[in-house]
Amino acid sequence: MNNNTLRLILATALLLLIALTSAAKAGDITVSAAASLTNAFKEIAQNYQAQYPNAKVALNFGASGALLQQIAKGAPVDVFASADQETMGAAEKQGLVANMDRHNFVKNTLVLILPKDSQFSPKRLQDLTQAQVKRIAIGNPASVPVGRYTVHALTSARLWPALESKTINTQNVRQSLDYVARGEVDAGFVYATDAAIMNDKVTVAFEVPLDVAISYPIAIIKDSKNKEEAMRFIRFLASTQTQAILSKYGFQKP
């Protein structure tokens, strides 16, 4: 084998390696999703990668408002799934997502939960004004959708002024769930899907009445480096197998 042939083989191998590396990277996406989607999206991402071996899904969970701030500051995100319309609307106003790429994919409900061993048995929101209730966990309304839904419900019931001093703000819905599960608060507001994953440690007192739907929008980030893969992931959410997973975790169809 002469030197020219060897160089040709090495050059071909290098080009092939570059092509394979680029192809692998082309299938990589980062999905930033509301904390309440954690369990469902972990399972969905595993199924997605099993179906598309060349794809890799990195998941980033947190309060929707905090995720929006990360994206606005340039975090390399391809797909954003928010727990409310307000946060996604803010993303759209900031030019981070396009309206045409935005749609609702699941719904949820708001519930009041108690520690499993609690002797308190509220039947309505007004019962939270009782003296025995001293600490109530809610997501920080400034950045956590479940907190905004909670304040909306309490304001509609004309209870917010009486209960605000009892509230303990949390960074996301899962922290509220943990506070209740550990008995650090007397009650807490979370989504029904969150309560379901800790039904051995918390009790659902009742579903909180709301005059607005808790719908989750999802969209492709405008600066995504891999919009084709991002769109394929979003389409995957609508598949029968994925809808079954979302339903298993308690999410409802939009």
Q: What is the CATH number of the domain that holds 36?
A: 3.40.190.10
In a domain, 89, yes or no: yes
Please tell me the predicted confidence (pLDDT) of residue 125.
98
Q: What is the pTM of this model?
A: 0.84
- When divided into structural domains, the chain yields a total of 2
Domain span at 81 = 3-107+215-248
In a domain, 156, yes or no: yes
Same-domain pairing of 75 and 131 = no
Same-domain pairing of 16 and 90 = yes
Same-domain pairing of 38 and 161 = no
**Is 173 one of the annotated binding-site residues?**
yes
Same-domain pairing of 153 and 227 = no
Among 96, 93, 135, 144, smallest CA distance to 115 is for 135
Same-domain pairing of 122 and 239 = no
Among 97, 44, 91, smallest CA distance to 66 is for 91
Taking only the tens place, the pLDDT of each residue in 52-91 is 999 999 999 999 999 999 999 999 999 999 999 999 999 9
Length of the chain: 254
Q: DSSP 3-state assignment of 84?
A: coil
**Is 36 one of the annotated binding-site residues?**
yes
**Is 111 one of the annotated binding-site residues?**
no
Those residues of the chain that have pLDDT short of 50 are: 4-24
Please tell me the predicted confidence (pLDDT) of residue 18.
41
Distances (CA, A) of 204 to 192, 195, 200, 222: 8, 7, 11, 39
Please tell me the predicted confidence (pLDDT) of residue 27.
77
Please tell me the predicted confidence (pLDDT) of residue 101.
82
Same-domain pairing of 67 and 84 = yes
H helix intervals, 94-170: 145-156, 160-163
In a domain, 169, yes or no: yes
